[in-house]
Amino acid sequence: MSNRVLYAYERFSTPEQAAGDSLRRQTEKAAAYAKQHGLVLDHTFELHDHGVSAYRGRNFAQGALGRFLKGVDEGIVPRGSLLGAENIDRVSRECPWDAQQLVREIVSRDISLVTFDDGKIYSQETLRNDPILGLLLQVFSMRAHDESKKKAERLKAAWVGKRQRIGDKILTSRAPGWLRVKGGKFEAIPERATVVRRIFEMAAVGTGLESIARTFNREGVATFGKARQWHRGYVAKVIESRAVVGTFIPHTVDYQRDGREIGKSKRIRRPAELIENYFPKVVRDDLYQRVRSMRGGHRAPATRTTTIRNVLASLAVCSVCGSTMTRVNKGSRKRAGKPYLICSRAKVGAGCKYVAHPLEPIEAALKTGIPYIAHSLGFYRQDKAKELKAIEAQIQRAMNLLLVTHRPPVSLRQKLSALEGYREQLREDLIDLPDPRVMTANIQRLKKLKEWNPTEVNVLLRQIFARFIVKEDRLLAKFKDDNPDLVMWIE
Q: Containing domain of residue 329, as a range?
A: 305-491
Q: Which amino acid is at 269?
A: R
Q: Does the residue 38 lie in any domain?
A: yes
For residue 373, the number of C-alpha atoms closer than 13 Å in the C-beta half-sphere is 31
Regarding whether 259 and 340 lie in a shared domain, the answer is no
Q: Clarify whether residues 371 and 335 are in a common domain.
A: yes
State whether residue 272 is helix, strand or coil: coil
| Calpha distance 133→88 (Å, rounded) | 13
User: Rounded to whole angstroms, how far apart are CA atoms 231 and 64?
Assistant: 35
0.75 surpassed by pTM? no
Burial of 246 (0-12, 13-18, 19+ CB in 10 A): middle
Around Cβ 238, how many Cβ atoms within 10 Å?
Answer: 21
Last residue of a domain, one of 294, 320, 354: 294
Chunked in runs of 10, what are the mean pLDDT values of the chain (491 residues)?
80 56 80 91 80 68 81 88 89 83 90 92 92 88 78 62 58 83 88 93 85 88 85 89 86 58 59 77 88 61 55 86 82 66 82 86 81 59 76 82 72 78 70 57 66 76 79 80 64 67
pLDDT of residue 165: 55
Among candidate residues 268, 264, 240, the one with its CA nearest the CA of residue 252: 268
pLDDT (0 to 100) of residue 106: 92
Tell whether the torsion through CA atoms of 66, 72, 73 and 74 is positive or negative: positive
Q: How many domains does the chain have?
A: 3
Residues 341 and 420 in one domain: yes
* Same domain as 420, residue 330: yes
Question: Looking at the structure, do residues 22 and 143 belong to the same domain, yes or no?
Answer: yes
Q: Which residues pair with 270 in a beta bridge?
A: 252
Residue 225 lies in a domain: yes
DSSP calls for 169-222: S-S-S---TTEEEETTEEEE-HHHHHHHHHHHHHHHTT--HHHHHHHHHHHTPP
Which residue(s) pair with 465 in the sheet? 479
How far is 25 from 413, CA to CA, in rounded Å?
31
Q: What is the largest CA-CA distance in the chain?
A: 88
- The whole-number pLDDT of residue 306 equals 47
Separation CA 326–CA 204 (nearest Å):
30
- Domain end: 263, 294, 325, which one? 294
User: Could you tell me if residue 299 is inside a domain?
Assistant: no
Q: What is the CATH number of the domain that holds 280?
A: 3.90.1750
Q: What is the pLDDT of residue 450?
A: 62
Is the CB of residue 341 less than 8 Å from the CB of residue 309?
no
